[in-house]
Each structure stands twice: as structure tokens, then as C-alpha cells.
Amino acid sequence: MTIPNLSHEQRLALADLLENQDVDVLREMLASVYDAAIKAQFDQHIGVGHYERGGERQDRRNGSRTRGLNTRAGSIELEIPRSRETPFRPTVIEQFRRSERALVSVIQEAFIGGISTRKMEDVLAAMGVEQLGKSQISALCQELDATATAFRTRELPQAYPYVWFDALYEKVRIDDRVVSNAVVIAYGVGADGHRDVIGIDVVDTESKESWTAFLRSLKKRRLVGVKLAISDAHEGVKAAIATVLQGASWQRCTVHFGRNILAHVPQNRKTEVAASLRSVFTQVSKVNADRTAQDFRERYGGTLKRAVEIFDAGIADALAFLAFPIEHHRKIATTNPIEHLNREIRRRTRSIGIFPSETSALRIITMILIEQSEDWMTERRYMSPESLELVLAT
């Protein structure tokens, strides 16, 4: 039951998925496979499918019960159908106990490499279900990808006054070539104060066209209320924000901006200049920030001409956050929040190395982001709804 599309290195990486943080993904997949297998066995038990009529019926449905099952991926709940005349005992559960490790491995490979009808037949055969129809298998394959697709295409439920944009690169195999594709991500704080991943896609490059198409897809999903868009100064995302999010301010990440300036400062003066930049960025009012910025120009204009030119060209956008509530400044002045998310993605995909396809990359990264969004919804609010209401009213 091996999947020939995966390289040797990718096969070695499969075990790492289970040993790290991707057990939630596997748990959901195991539950879906179990539900389909149990349903197939029950249909065989009573002699007819759900909602079907037929002369071969041997028994009738009589509701269902739930049963817990402990697996290597954690505990899952299964729905066990009841029959009126003869007890139904799904043998797939005991079959699983005898071959759990092999079954989990097959599901992992199917998840990373792409889920085909043939691969799912192998999975179900390992569970002792060998008479599942092609239409049923196809439906199961579609169900396993449905969660990720639904998350990426869902209608956004509220206004998002603050939205961060960033990209990371993953290696993807296309035909006989390995290319580095951009995974573009949008992360927002909603009116309710909770953080949420509001968009993800895989594109060839971070061009203006790619970013514009991505932002327009967010608008089609009812992205509204954006008052501040935060990103680095990449020309593609910057141009797309100006085109699609008209009326929103753009915040240039102060961390990236500072690095750009310091790249033109001699090593023996970097500490001094970095401290002066922090003094500008930590002001709480526009008046004080402008005064401190002028001090920076006067202090370094004669000796660090190029650094000051870069400072002058970008300081207005880097101070856009000052127009918003003071309690939000630290969180909205940089792309640090979304870069932390990107680091988590890299940590959990590092062992895969090269994805077999764009689809597989999008699938597993989306599932990681779904988990993160669900965790955020159970945590303390990132910002207060009252303060965000004031932002939305401006």
C-alpha cells in the first residue's frame, strides 16, 4: 500500500507529521475514513443503502449511537448505526487495532500526496472493507478535502479593521521540475477582537497581478471594514493594496523599514542608529514622532546620506499606525504577528521538503492554519471590541 508519487525523502518525512503537531489533521481524516467504512459495512449488514428501497433488504435502520476510539492520533468519536432485528458490530474497529500503524501511514501518504480513489481503496482494504462502490469512495475523497476548501472559500463573517499580508516560499514539484512557489496569506483582527486567517493561496510569484487577484478574491468573500493594511514594502503587495483596498491606510512594517536603513550604515554605528530609529517608532503621537524624525535627519544627514534618503522616502508610511488607538500601536506597527504564523508553518512543513504538487502544499498548509484559527477563537481576545468599534467608525 505505498504511494509511488512520493520520493524516498518525503516518505521518511511522513512519520514526523504524526510525531509533531499535525495529529489534529490525522484525527479528522481517520474519523472520516471510519465513518465511511462503518457506513459501508452497515449497508452490507442490512442489505441496502441509506434512503434506498430494495427487495434484498435484510433489516432496517434504528437510529445510531456514539462510541469513542483511542488512536495514535488521539481520541475520535464514531457514529455506530443500529438495526432493528439483528445487532450490528462493525468489524472495522477491531481490524484497525491490528493494523493501526500501517493504516495511519497510508492515510498520511494519501494526505500529502493527494487522495485518489485507488489510494482510498487501499486504505479501506486495510480496514477490511473491500466492497465499497466507486461513487462512495469518490465521495469520501471529496469529503477529506472539503474542510480545507470550505475554509479557503468561506464568506468572511465580520469586518476586519486590521489585516496583515505576507508570503513564504515552499518547494513544489511541477512535472519534472522543482520550483519555489509563494504561499500568500492574509491574517486579520475581526471586529470581535479575535485573530483569524482570512485567506491563503499558492501563486507562482509575488507579482502585482498575483497579489491583486488574491486581494480581489478576499473582497468577493465579503472582506469589509479594512482601515489599515500591514505588510513589508514589496512592490507587488503594496500596489495590490492601493488598487483593491482603496480607502485603507498602508502601514509599512517598521522592522523591515529599519533593516533597510541599517543596511546603509557602517557596522560600528549600527547600534547607535538603531536606537535613534526606535526613538522615532516608539512615539505615541504624530507631533512627537515628526519632531523626533527631524532630529534623526539633522543628526545623520551629513554623514549617512543614503540611510537618511531611505528614511525620508518611507517614514510617512512607517508612521501610519499613529492614527490609530495607542493600545494597538505595538501590534499594528509591524508584520511580526503574521511572521510568527509563517514560522509555525515552516516548522511543520520543513520535514516534507518538496511538496508533490501545488494542491498538496495548499492542502496541508490550509489545515495548519485552520487549527491556528480555531485555537485563536478559544483564546483571550487580541484587541478589545470596544476599541475596534472606534476604529471602524472612523
Residue 329's H or E segment, with its range, is: helix 329-332
User: Tell me, what's the pLDDT at 215?
Assistant: 98
Sequence-separated (6 or more) residues with CB below 8 Å from residue 266: none
Q: How far is Cα 58 from Cα 83, in angstroms, rounded to an integer? A: 10
Residue 304 dihedral angles phi and psi, to the nearest 5°: -125, 60
* 232 grid coordinates: 513589508
Q: Note whether 194 and 381 are within 8 A (CB).
A: yes
Q: How far is Cα 324 from Cα 228, in angstroms, rounded to an integer? A: 9
Q: How far is Cα 364 from Cα 107, in angstroms, rounded to an integer? A: 13
Residue ranges of the alpha helices (H) in 245-285?
254-262, 270-281
SS (H, E, C) 1-23: CCCCCCCHHHHHHHHHHHHCCCH
Q: Note whether 48 and 56 are within 8 A (CB).
A: yes
Nearest residue to 201 via CA among 176, 221, 182: 182
* 324 grid coordinates: 490609530
3-state class (DSSP) for residue 71: strand
Q: Note whether 209 and 184 are within 8 A (CB).
A: no
User: Tell me, what's the pLDDT at 363?
Assistant: 80
Nearest residue to 42 via CA among 125, 131, 104, 117: 131
What are the structural domain ranges in the chain? 8-153, 162-393
Nearest residue to 346 via CA among 368, 331, 373, 370: 368
Pairing state of beta strands 177-189 and 162-174?
antiparallel
Amino acid at 88: F
Supply the pTM of this predicted model. Answer: 0.70
Amino acid at 95: Q
Q: How far is Cα 245 from Cα 139, in angstroms, rounded to an integer? A: 38
User: Tell me, what's the pLDDT at 42?
Assistant: 84
3-state class (DSSP) for residue 140: helix
User: Tell me, what's the pLDDT at 2?
Assistant: 37
| Sign of the C-alpha dihedral computed for residues 162, 165, 166 and 167 taken in this order | positive
| pLDDT, tens digit only, all 394 positions of the chain | 333 344 444 444 444 544 443 556 667 667 777 777 788 788 887 876 544 445 455 667 778 888 877 765 667 888 888 887 788 877 766 665 544 554 555 555 555 555 555 655 665 565 555 555 556 555 555 665 777 888 999 999 999 999 999 999 998 888 889 999 999 999 999 999 999 999 999 988 889 999 999 999 999 999 999 999 999 999 999 999 999 999 999 999 999 999 999 999 999 999 999 999 999 999 999 999 999 999 999 999 999 999 999 999 999 999 999 999 999 999 999 999 999 999 988 887 776 778 878 887 888 788 888 888 888 988 899 999 999 999 999 8
Residue 71 dihedral angles phi and psi, to the nearest 5°: -130, 175
Nearest residue to 339 via CA among 243, 230, 207: 230
Q: How far is Cα 102 from Cα 188, in angstroms, rounded to an integer? A: 40
Nearest residue to 24 via CA among 367, 376, 360: 367
Q: How far is Cα 184 from Cα 304, in angstroms, rounded to an integer? A: 35
Amino acid at 63: G
